[in-house]
């Protein structure tokens, strides 16, 4: 993989022993982080791809190893992040006999990965790896699955190895299209920019901010991409995602011109495709994407532009005109700032206060991660991401993503503060990866929001089947003892006023930290208690 890759994650298996043996001699140039379960390893690779923009590399064994890893492939696809999953495979002479742990990976991953293939001959390894890398990073980025037959891995070849990966340039927009979109946005009464996706560079983000600031246009981030636009900028107006603020929904509905920049117009960002009518929205829609396959896939835009986000934003900034006093933008910003102030939460720990503390305390290059659950509203709705801060969160809604993602972030940036938000059920999906963190010396701070329930499912259960609790109550282990067994600093936090001190001790710990926050099940969502949800369900 030459200059392209320097890190991999995985769980060992006899089906790719030859590849493991090769890694014996690559320490410092190409490292292997030993993980505890293939799902965690694949999550780490997906998070690496999201954080760095280069493919996260994962190695797993055939059969059970590959099926375990499939959750990370699905997450990488939905997140549009580059990833390469290498799977050991049965020897070519035994194919199609249902050999031990044999799977047809083209069929198995065909609808999940961007491309799934198998290398048939040792001499073609450079060709396949080059294509896999290029496929993962080009257009709409995504995961590529490569099966490695045992006999291919152990064979010899004099074909030259790759020196460096192919560099894929962004498609450039036409000047006429950019000028048309810029002037129509500036002239609109209620313009809106919806932005997100992968492939952004600092210059592209800055160019978009310059245009929005000059034209006084509100900017909404697509689902879980609110770290791509400075939240402190007065143009930032919130995130269009799960649990969307009603003010954000209103902003999208009432806008007259929308620039959808590098977003795939997914279910969460469009309010299940109801905020904009399918296939032709009532709003004027300009859709710009680095993949032409996304243009017109769901919505028929007034103008579709096949262009990369950085190239388009740079050209857009060149067409900027100064607009001042746009009430529409000011109202959008005010609504966003008001949304940061949820009611005081019931129970011993008030997460509103906790998040206010974290907004003030975390360094300006902190990385936040989370898995899936109602608890994700706190890093998703109540933290302001500055230009250097990052959020690693799964668009697939996969539980268990946060802990592996935080470990991958620490592997990539050991000098940065990494904080993972996890529910008690979410944490137990991948808590064994604490061993990976300890062994790799990549230990984050993990906040477990422990309420004893699968909160999201309980919420829907009480809405639809009130007072009929089934399968959503958890009996948890002693998380503090578990974390200490892995060598982490760990504490129970039982009251709001204990959090600040506990978090300082977590920051000071060289071993990473796990804080068990004893939140109440009543605090099921920032805006509604469990009792209120149940009462509303009883009135249905």
- The last residue of one of the domains, among 290, 318, 338, is 338
168 falls within a domain: no
CA atoms of 41 and 65, how far apart (whole Å): 10
CB 93 within 8 A of CB 78: no
Residues 86 and 215 in one domain: no
Cβ atoms of 260 and 298 closer than 8 Å:
no
Both 351 and 426 in one domain: the answer is: yes
Q: Of 123, 10, 119, 115, which is closest to residue 66 (Cα–Cα)? A: 10
Range of the domain at 244: 175-338
On whether both 222 and 371 belong to a single domain, the answer is no
Within a domain: residue 179? yes
- Answer whether 61's CB lies under 8 Å from 87's CB: yes
Task: List 390's β-bridge partners, or say none.
Answer: 367
Tell me the CATH number at 179.
Answer: 3.40.50.1220
The sign of the dihedral angle between the CA atoms of 19, 125, 153, 100 is positive
Report the alpha-carbon distance of residue 241 to residue 248 in Å, rounded.
9
Same domain, 198 and 320: yes
Distance CA 379, CA 393 (A): 9
Q: Mean pLDDT per segment of 10 residues, for the chain of length 540 residues? A: 80 94 92 98 98 97 97 97 96 84 92 97 95 96 97 93 85 97 97 96 97 98 95 97 93 98 94 95 97 96 97 97 94 95 92 96 98 94 96 95 98 98 97 98 97 89 90 94 98 98 97 96 86 86
The reply to whether 288 and 425 lie within a common domain is no
* Same structural domain, 364 and 332: no
The answer on 296 and 360 residing in a single domain is no
In terms of Cα–Cα distance, which of 152, 156, 162, 87 is closest to 119? 152
| Rg from Cα positions in the chain | 24
Q: In what order do the strands lie in the sheet with 219-222?
A: 236-240, 219-222, 191-195, 257-261, 284-289, 303-306
Q: Using H for helix, E for strand and C for coil, what is the string for 133-164?
A: HHHHHCCCCCEEEEEEEHHHHHCCCCCCCCCC
Indicate whether 165 belongs to any domain. no
Does 303 lie in the same domain as 344? no
Tell me if 167 is assigned to some domain.
Answer: no
Q: Establish if 164 belongs to a structural domain.
A: no
Whether 62 is in a domain gets the answer yes
Look at residues 309, 338, 367 and tell me which one is the last residue of a structural domain.
338
Do both 330 and 350 map to the same domain? Answer: no
pTM of the model: 0.96
- Domain shared by 502 and 394, yes or no: yes
Task: Specify the number of domains making up the chain.
Answer: 3
Asked if 97 and 66 count as a contact pair (C-beta separation under 8 A), the reply is no
Task: Please provide the DSSP assignment of 229-273 as one string.
Answer: S-TTSTTEEEEESTT--HHHHHHHHH-SEEEEES----TTTTTTT
320 occurs within a structural domain: yes
Q: What is the CATH number of the domain that holds 129?
A: 3.40.50.970
| Distance between CA atoms of residues 443 and 487, nearest Å | 10
Let me know whether 383 and 438 are in one domain.
yes
Does some domain include residue 64? yes
Both 427 and 474 in a single domain?
yes
Single out the residue in 93, 123, 154 at which a domain terminates: 154
């Amino acid at each position: 993989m030459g200059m392209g890759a320097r890190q991999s994650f995985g769980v060992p298996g006899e089906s790719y022993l030859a590849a493991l043996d090769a890694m014996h001699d690559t320490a410092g140039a190409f490292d292997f982080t030993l993980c505890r379960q293939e799902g965690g390893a694949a999550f780490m690779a997906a998070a690496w791809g999201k954080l760095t923009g280069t493919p996260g590399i994962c190695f797993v064994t055939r059969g059970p190893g590959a099926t375990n890893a499939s959750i990370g492939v699905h997450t990488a696809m939905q997140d549009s992040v580059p990833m390469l999953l290498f799977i050991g495979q049965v020897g070519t002479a035994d194919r199609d006999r249902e050999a031990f742990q044999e799977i047809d990976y083209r069929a198995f991953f065909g609808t999940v990965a961007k491309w799934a293939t198998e290398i048939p001959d040792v001499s073609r390894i450079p060709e396949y790896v080059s294509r896999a890398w290029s496929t993962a990073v080009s257009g709409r980025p995504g995961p590529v699955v490569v099966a490695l037959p045992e006999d291919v891995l152990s064979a010899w070849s004099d074909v030259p190895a790759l020196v460096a990966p192919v560099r894929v340039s962004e498609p450039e927009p036409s000047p006429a299209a950019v000028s048309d979109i810029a002037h129509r946005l500036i002239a609109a009464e209620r313009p809106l920019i919806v932005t997100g996706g992968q492939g952004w560079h600092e210059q592209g983000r800055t160019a978009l901010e310059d245009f929005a600031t000059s034209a006084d246009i509100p900017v909404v981030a697509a689902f879980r991409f609110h770290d791509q636009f400075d939240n402190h900028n007065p143009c930032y107006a919130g995130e269009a995602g799960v649990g969307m603020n009603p003010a954000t929904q209103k902003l999208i509905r009432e806008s007259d011109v929308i620039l959808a920049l590098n977003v795939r117009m997914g279910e969460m960002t469009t309010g299940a495709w109801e905020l904009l009518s399918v296939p032709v929205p009532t709003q004027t829609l300009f859709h710009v994407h680095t993949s032409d396959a996304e243009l017109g896939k769901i919505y028929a835009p007034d103008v579709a532009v096949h262009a990369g986000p950085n190239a388009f934003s740079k050209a857009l900034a060149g067409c900027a005109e100064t607009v001042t006093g746009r009430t529409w933008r000011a109202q959008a910003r005010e609504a966003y700032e008001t949304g940061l102030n949820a009611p005081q939460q019931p129970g011993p720990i008030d997460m509103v206060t906790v998040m206010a503390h974290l907004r003030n305390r975390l360094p300006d290059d902190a990385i936040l991660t989370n898995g899936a659950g109602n608890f994700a509203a706190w890093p998703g709705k109540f933290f302001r991401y500055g230009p250097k801060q990052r959020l690693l969160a799964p668009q697939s809604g996969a539980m268990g993503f946060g802990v592996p993602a935080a470990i991958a972030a620490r592997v990539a940036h050991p000098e940065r503060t990494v904080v993972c938000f996890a529910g008690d059920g979410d944490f137990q999906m991948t808590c064994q990866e604490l061993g990976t963190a300890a062994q790799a010396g990549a230990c984050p701070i993990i906040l477990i929001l422990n309420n004893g329930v699968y909160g999201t499912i309980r919420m829907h259960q009480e809405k639809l089947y009130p007072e009929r609790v089934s399968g959503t109550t958890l009996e948890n282990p002693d998380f503090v003892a578990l974390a200490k067994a892995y060598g982490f600093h760990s504490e129970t936090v039982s009251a709001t006023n204990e959090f600040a001190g506990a978090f300082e001790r977590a920051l000071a710990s060289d071993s990473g930290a796990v804080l068990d926050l004893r939140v109440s099940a009543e605090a099921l969502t920032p805006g509604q208690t469990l009792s209120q949800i149940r009462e509303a369900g009883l009135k249905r």
